Structure 1
């Protein structure tokens, strides 16, 4: 009985893991939207906030509107109330919103639309999870609100509802797409509904893995996508505040990579983005017109790794004595021009720069991520072992079944009675 319970516990844990509750990977921050809608009438309000794992210092809500201007809450839009940014919406507030840290890390992104028309589609702004029940409402700004409505997905009519709303009882990945609705009063804008299974959809690769470059050096950027890579592209927001993608006015597409021959105006934040607004990790690249740069990793490094920072002079020699600073304080002077952290830890995360006799480098943020196994709860660790090691699971099941079979076999052998045992002794004599 105990072994059967153990088997049921293991299988239950697998179900728990498969539902995504025990996932190992998670975003550093997530953008919350209240109410959770992607379309709003003019003068309605929305509350946006950054939910950050760990230290939330330096995180803020930012947006890129249809005017192509990158800005953050408290500048020319929004009102900060505690940790939330409240926006009384007008059509020019339509755009993409996300959370961003001082080091260029991104949360999930949401696309908010504020049409000037009389009809909107109330659909989730945030991703919905496979298996959830989702209701879409075709809403008229006047009255009544329950007009008969036609609902469209990817341009095709899917249903007509007299109540003005449609429900998907159990949403699946095939329900992901572009939705809109029409009624007798007009047509709503289109909104994308994302269906997720908790996995990070893509990662941005950087080669060479550096955050600072001299003018005219080259960098290769690529999107490593889990599953279908169609629609993913490398995009950036440069210092000019213009959101654009590779192949427009910068970069050259070579296979799945974007090659950039860098000039100072290419400095900015780069990431991968899908047509539905999903984001990968982001990196901040600085192109320096001066004589000094700090060679430090653009991508996050893992606790326990060995990391070397180099103070590089554009001319010669390259091994000038250099001072290295973290968060504005001198930490070491090295005659070789480079410093090594043999076993990097979370406390090494911060803003680094270097100086030598030829000048000073810009500052760059180094991100340190925890080793997933060390930061997992016991249940998440068990999930990781079971899901990641099917042979281990199979072995456990077979052992449990084998032990049960052996026990049952032993119970089938009849025990000798006291009289039989006396008879055996007589025969022996």
Structure 2
């Protein structure tokens, strides 16, 4: 699913002017900052957070090794990062009257608002704004001055003067405003230039895909190269809905014998992780996971099987996508099982018959050998008395040869 994406990186997201690679982000984003706003300073630059050092009025200040500092005293603050140097200074004032300008680079054509504030935001009347000591306007009840569109000649030193109740006239500290000429923009993707230098603030990706995921940033610079600024890195992850779920093994009509094991595997050709799999048997959920293992199946396992692949895009929980695989018809047959049982029974009976035949053959061989031994005995030679294990036929044979009843012939004696 291809979609158009426009990355728009505003100038106020960029770092400070010049070639400085360490800068301070101020919150709220007005400068000079005022103590009654509870100001938070964040140090940005190369190196790790533990390499941050804070300075106030040129001396080490606060707890070292933290990139954020909550201001509790007025003064001039700087931060240092190992490998990127010292940041430009940031002032925090606690004066009766303060003139503030936005804390981001001002470009030609922009709109900017200057505001004149009293300590604790008390009412100020008859406010006058000055540029290079020349009065621009006097407002009876207003405290803000809007300049639009910004021109290069708007650069310079500004201050304001207002009437404070019980304090008469008060003049603010001067503030320097710098308006920059139109800039050239360069867009980066994973530290490689993808577009620019150009005048547009936009990077257009007409058909975004998973391959466009990565880290993006932009850099602006003046045409003469005197000013350069780089944005922070923006991580963009392109996710794809589920599509083309399949079941293996194939074909979709599968015939198996009762007692055999069967393993079905579900997969998707398109879709961003994490993916969950749900197995349906005749429309009812029976298992979770990409594999469905059926061991020693029986007739009850017959029916249609289908897997449902699901993924969730975004963190809001509302963008959930599903893909259904084609149905697999599983037929379990029992004839093969019965035939296997019959074969096993037949083999057992055959073994028993062979065993009986061997036993009978051995018995006949012993009987035949005994008769041959008697036939070879000489006439008139007394024969040994047959053992108790001899048969009656053997005893009769001995008696016939002797011509008399042998005492060993127990049958005759009895």
TM over 0.5: no
Q: Which has the larger radius of gyration?
A: 2
Higher relative CO (Cα under 8 Å, sequence separation at least 6) belongs to 1
TM-score of Structure 1 vs Structure 2, range by shorter chain: 0.3 to 0.5
**TM-score scaled to structure 2, two decimals?**
0.37
**TM-score scaled to structure 1, two decimals?**
0.36
